[in-house]
Chain A
């Protein structure tokens, strides 16, 4: 049984339909990538899985349960955590308070403040600073650390590379290995195709709210991606 499966998942913002019947599966322990142009529905998909956007109950199945109507805080307890696009740290909390907040629901697991600091040593030095005083890359690390503090089974990463320098992006992606080594299942949403495919074993390419292409890491050709990405 897959850890996550969506069945004909549709999502709407008011009258606007953003997703059209997405069928996607993720096995436990797998890292998959979702790529696609702006507005392809990648973030919408993550928000629907995380419960931030309600869908029909049976459209999203997680660990054998129908979770389409669950709220985000219920899903965190079931083990779905999200690193939101734009990091969204709490500005009036310090770095350490932001991290500690991830542990609010008290899910047991391998991640603790100490483990997060081991993974991102720079955060240890900055722990008592207000979150907005960090650089973009440091904030991204804090946002990942905060999500890890939920001890997720399924980690949703939305645009980790957004607005960051290439060397910083490399740094952050290098840390993904330590996260998946704990058995955590990861879904990466990226616009940077090469980066996303490198970090994952399979990928889905979204296009205008539909899946345009899906393939394993080494089973695709560049032209097919270009076609699916731009809808040529």
Chain B
């Protein structure tokens, strides 16, 4: 019995990381209807940026976030304003093709610059520390922190979207960007800001991921699929749904792994397919189109 509680708790915590992976994707789809195929590779790129920052400054990865997050924020702004904005006028296909191209470029660029070696960010003892709860259940400190960061991130975004003038403007351009323009909102700037915020959260997820697991230039596509599944399970355009979607994936993987280690990844995908069949628009759909 206790074993199962333990499995579910671990799965839930893993889901927090998946939820973090998915925030950037959820934002760019929710606000710009941009399906970002390069999202997984942008996570990996952020991990490499973090690695470089850590090496050059000598900071630990968490303190390094003070450099990494603003860097990726600016990168996201430039990426949207300088490139992706131009793909948004002609339907769904141009952004798909362009971000697919970015994905290929990032993977090969990283391979060329850093080789196929695996890397990891190191945070010292905290990586392996754990708290023992009554009933002999031991929970890793770092997964717990990751989960907490995911909840805080989503909560912060929720506040941004529903309590600030900027958030109101984000929701308005998401509804109808052309009418928003007629009310004085520069949609190109706002889209770029949205991508900047998305990239900052992507970088946050990347650092936590890179402390927990090895990464290499080819690690992107699987993160993209996990992020996609989390967003779709949760319901497109719903930011809390994205966290729930991540948790559903994490739980399914943990249960699968408990049955047989080879089942871990497959169980997550199966859960995704089952939910797609039962609720095609996700658990908590918000976007109407």
> Residues of A with Cβ closer than 8 Å to B?
50, 52, 71-73, 76-77, 81-82, 84, 88, 90-93, 97, 100-102, 104-105, 107, 146-147, 150
Contact = CB atoms under 8 A, between A and B. Distances in A.
Contacts of B179: 84, 88, 90
B168 A101 contact: yes
B169 A101 contact: yes
B168 A71 contact: no
Contact of A90 (B171, B186, B286): B171
Contact of A72 (B172, B176, B181): B181
Contacts of B186: 71, 73
Is chain B's binding surface mostly helix, strand, loop or mixed? Answer: helix
Contacts of B168: 93, 97, 100-101, 104
Interface in B172-199: 172, 174-176, 178-187
B175 A105 contact: no
Interface residues of B, number: 20
Given A91-B288, A100-B165, A104-B165, A82 B182 contact: yes
B184 A92 contact: no
Nearest to A47: B182
Contacts of B183: 73, 76, 81, 101-102, 104-105, 146-147, 150
Contacts of B169: 101, 104
B174 A92 contact: yes
8 contacts: A76-B183, A76-B184, A81-B182, A100-B165, A101-B183, A102-B183, A104-B185, A146-B183
A105 B174 contact: no
Contacts of B175: 90-93
B172 A52 contact: no
A75 B272 CA distance: 47
Interface string B248-265: 000000000000000000
Contacts of B187: 73
Nearest to B237: A92
Nearest to A106: B184
Contacts of B178: 52
Q: Which of A73, A88, A97, A107 has the most CB of B within 10 A?
A: A73
A52 B181 contact: yes
A134 B168 CA distance: 19
Interface in B265-289: 286, 288
A77 B181 contact: no
A88 B165 CA distance: 19
Contacts of A146: 183
Contact of B172 (A50, A76, A93, A107): A93
Contacts of A84: 179, 182
A142 to B, nearest CB: 12
A105 B172 contact: no
A47 to B, nearest CB: 9
A76 B165 contact: no
A100 B185 CA distance: 12
A217 B120 CA distance: 78
Nearest to A96: B168
A105 B176 contact: no
A92 B286 CA distance: 9
A88 B279 CA distance: 30
A149 to B, nearest CB: 8
Nearest to B162: A97
A68 to B, nearest CB: 16
Given A84-B182, A91-B288, A101-B183, 6 more contacts: A90-B180, A91-B175, A92-B175, A93-B175, A100-B168, A105-B184
A189 to B, nearest CB: 15
A108 to B, nearest CB: 13
Contacts of A77: 184
B77 to A, nearest CB: 18
Contacts of A100: 165, 168
Interface in B133-184: 165, 168-169, 171-172, 174-176, 178-184
Given A90-B172, A93-B172, A93-B175, A50 B182 contact: yes
A105 B288 CA distance: 27
Contacts of B180: 90, 101
A92 B172 CA distance: 8
B185 A73 contact: yes
Contacts of B288: 91
A147 B182 CA distance: 9
B184 A73 contact: yes
Nearest to A50: B182
A153 to B, nearest CB: 13
Q: Which of B165, B168, B179, B186 has the most CB of A within 10 A?
A: B179
